[in-house]
Chains A and B, each alone.
Chain A
Amino acid sequence: MARRVALVLALGVFVVSLTAPASAQQPKRGGILRIADREAPNLDPHLSISFLTHSWANMVYSQLVRYAHGPEQKHTADFTVVPDLAEKWEHKSPTVIEFTLRKGVKFHNKPPVNGREVTAEDVKYSMERFRTKSAFRARFDVVQAIDVVDRHTLRVTLKEPFAPFLNHLAASTYLAILPREVEEKLKDFNRAEAMIGSGPFMVKSYQKGVQIAFERNPDYYMKGMPYLDGVVIEITPDAAARLSLLRAGKVDMGHMWGYMVPEEAKSLKQTNPEMVMTPTMTIGSGKLYFRTDQPPFNDVRVRRAVSLAINRKAWNDSINYGEGCVDAGPVPCAMSDWKLDASKMDPAKAKYLVGYDVAEAKRLLAEAGHPKGLTVPMYHWPGYAPPWRTYYDLAADDLSKIGITVEFKPEEYGKYISTTYLGKFEKMAMGPQAPGNEVDDWLFSGFYPEQPHNRSHVADAELNRMLLAQRRELDPKKRLALVHDIQRYLADKAYYVYVPTSPQYITHAPQVKGFKHHDGFSLGHRLIFTWLER
């Protein structure tokens, strides 16, 4: 019902936007956008594994391909791959992809690169550097060979067909294209003067711990873009200080994505009614996870009982003002291109995914040999942003109604992230999952044996076959069908029990125009299409 209302509202907004006067939508050149956020720990996009580094790097560097952004994107989790440095690509065979680079794209006009053209050699150099130096190199383990065919053509040969490959290339987390001479002449990329790419912005100045200023790249290959003259990131580690800067009008955005949880947003709206806020479902999911390889959670009836005990609608109404999403997994709500809604599944199975039935939960527990209930630990990190603390309490409360007593096991972050988060815990745990841009990150990583994010220790031969098949299927329609099959298969297994996802209010000052939220770490791509109306 809530989804239908949201759909009608979205349609309404779309119709209104079509009929709005054209002048209000006319982008304007100029102005400096100010953002308050944390500092990137390192500036080398291949060596660092921080999303902050990748967000900054995305301002400066281009990629071979990128995701659709701004007016190109259909929705906030649209991971359609569009050209960046490569103007086109072609599968010569299931394992050979040939990329044709745009001609005349130039690196920033700074020494030692001095605005020379980007060539296939640069792409090969960057890919090889990434594959030897990055801690994420495993992402491109599937690559067998990289060959420069000519100045503007590159051929990549894979060991086997691998559907997520282009998506990984488009993620700013991985393959930024760097010029070789920077490493040769300046020794490394980990300093502001070495940040020379062919992206929409150039580094103007960097004062560590204070601010980084970017200026528009006048030679950017997209003519007339970006609209902004520059972007300044005011380094502000403290969340309360970021919000104060936004309230006081000293920055236009208090966060790189403009995130704000509903409660914070509603309080800001009272003091600053002029703020523009767009409630948005972002990619993410929260769940209860289990040692499905050990009793009692190796019994599907116990897991189903847990799922049926969670009153998702009540949680969503009380915590998320009814604005969240209750059908939250295994593919997150925002990933609408891949998600198969529970409403489209067999209701007898889907009830174990989204249903609420205390009587049946009790019956299942009794059948599984726990007529008097049982006591289980819940490992978690209490420090997650709201509403997590409340979620832990709600889960314990709901489970107590079917006879499961929860023993809270709060952990310090360092311990949690390196043990529980990676599946090293006893019996049961709870928490969110880090976002991934590829549906494979949610399915293969979460369910395939030996994957660190297979926190529930799932080992299911039939599922494994399906998980591998969707990775190898290059036809998008056929792959979608496989991904839907996996979701149907998982519905009643209750390997994980998903809890409602909260919306984020994408918030910025009224002068910021054209800013469209996009999940993923491409700050530069989000800002290409943003302008200021002061």
Chain B
Amino acid sequence: MKQYVLRRLALAVPTLVLVSVIVFSLMRFMPGDVVTRMVEGHAYAPTVDALRTELGLDRPAYVQYLDWVSGIVLRGDFGSSYWTRQPILDEFVRRFPVTLELAALTILVSVVIGILVGIVSAVRQDTISDYVGRVFAILALSIPYFGLAVLVVVLPAIYFKWTPVWTYVSFTTSPLENLKIMIVPALVFGVTRAGPIMRIMRSALLEVMRQDYIRTAWSKGLPERAIVLRHALKNAMIPVVTLIGLQTPLYIGGSVIIEAIFRLPGVGLFFFESLTRLDYPVVQSVNLIIAAMVVGLNLAIDLTYAFLDPRIRYR
């Protein structure tokens, strides 16, 4: 087990190096130039040259890359934003709890709705409840979350002079106020993500319910509740957990738009603003940090399989 974890961690190094190279090059391939983007209407030639030198953009690309990577490896320094001139890591650490909370609440909403609807659909296959559940899943899959978010912000303001958007308060300052602000974005995002979970839950549960051991359970005269929840559900959960794991980067990626619409000061918004401003170091470093997190998370998910299915052993 220990060896397995160590091996996985060692494998993460080339992955992250590759990510850093890709992100660094992609940013440079993006059309446009950060310096002229910064000075826009005031692009007088001396201004542009001076700024380019100041930001170190006049050096060859490989020097810039090595400078960035060596800063991270040797000093844990992820660099500073071109625009805010603030250290990126500080900003990331300050903003991460917002995104983490949004992701956690979103996962909670999507898992609760997805699993409940999935179970009902599977157990009551081909009844009205199943049809309703499946229609819900298709709707949730086909409505883009950012479209739904804009509607939720705009429509109540037009018809009821009310909007869910308000000043962010951190959880530690006032848990209740914080939840009031977070619940609407989490619902919007969570509902749209519940669709795939529901569909996987339904098909996995249907599959398991046809297994021999479930038939045995029925023949022993166990009540339906015990069969579904205690015997079938645990085995049907494996693909669902995999799916949640696979969706996790989507929760972070989706937070980019959700945070901008609902005024949440998280990492997503930071990333979004930096991307539109061509703030190379921020986009590179945030991407790298998130990639490292995804690698770690995938490892954690692999380890939870052992809990769900004791037959899985790591060598």
Q: Please give the residue numbers on chain A whose beta carbons come within 8 Å of chain B beta carbons, in ascending order.
A: 39, 41-42, 44, 47-50, 135-139, 141, 173, 190, 207-211, 234-238, 240-241, 243-245, 247-250, 271-272, 411-419, 421-422, 433-436, 450-453
**In the assembly, what is the distance between CA of A42 and CA of B91, in Å?**
13
* Contact partners of A49 in chain B: CB under 8 A: 38-40, 42
B166 within 8 A of A: yes
Say yes or no: B42 contacts A241, CB within 8 Å: no
The interface size of chain B toward A, counting residues with CB under 8 Å, comes to 56
Query: A243-B157, A414-B33 given as contacts; is B46 within 8 A of A137 (CB)?
Result: yes
* Contact partners of B264 in chain A: CB under 8 A: 209
Say yes or no: A237 contacts B263, CB within 8 Å: yes
Closest chain A residue to B264, Cβ basis: A209
Say yes or no: A248 contacts B94, CB within 8 Å: no
* Highest count of chain A CB atoms <10 Å: which of B48, B154, B163, B264: B163
Min CB distance, A227 to chain B, in Å?
Answer: 24
B231 within 8 A of A: no
Query: A245-B163, A414-B33 given as contacts; is B265 within 8 A of A209 (CB)?
Result: yes
| 18 more A-B residue pairs beyond the given contacts A236-B263, A237-B272, with a C-beta to C-beta distance below 8 A | A135-B47, A135-B50, A135-B51, A135-B54, A138-B45, A139-B44, A234-B263, A240-B154, A244-B153, A247-B157, A271-B158, A412-B31, A414-B30, A414-B32, A418-B35, A434-B40, A435-B41, A452-B45
Q: In the complex, which residues 108-137 of chain B have their Cβ closer than 8 Å to any Cβ of chain A?
A: none
* Contact partners of A234 in chain B: CB under 8 A: 167, 263
Majority secondary structure, A binding face? loop
A-B pair number, CB within 8 angstroms: 152
**In the assembly, what is the distance between CA of A207 and CA of B81, in Å?**
18
Q: Which of B14-22, B82-90, B188-196 contacts A (4 or more CB under 8 A)?
A: B82-90
Say yes or no: A247 contacts B165, CB within 8 Å: no
**Per a CB cutoff under 8 Å, which of A210, A237, A414, A435 touches B260?**
A237
**In the assembly, what is the distance between CA of A23 and CA of B161, in Å?**
31
**In the assembly, what is the distance between CA of A50 and CA of B38, in Å?**
8
* Contact partners of A238 in chain B: CB under 8 A: 153, 260-261, 263
Say yes or no: A248 contacts B157, CB within 8 Å: yes
Q: In the complex, which residues 1-58 of chain B have their Cβ closer than 8 Å to any Cβ of chain A?
A: 30-33, 35-48, 50-51, 54
Say yes or no: A417 contacts B36, CB within 8 Å: yes
Say yes or no: B42 contacts A412, CB within 8 Å: no
Say yes or no: B263 contacts A417, CB within 8 Å: no
Say yes or no: A240 contacts B47, CB within 8 Å: no
Query: A42-B85, A210-B263, A422-B36 given as contacts; is B95 within 8 A of A450 (CB)?
Result: no
* Contact partners of B30 in chain A: CB under 8 A: 412, 414
**In the assembly, what is the distance between CA of A436 and CA of B40, in Å?**
12
Closest chain A residue to B41, Cβ basis: A434
Say yes or no: A453 contacts B167, CB within 8 Å: no
Say yes or no: A137 contacts B163, CB within 8 Å: no
* Contact partners of B156 in chain A: CB under 8 A: 244, 248
* The 4 nearest A-B residue pairs measured at CB: A414-B32, A209-B265, A434-B41, A415-B31
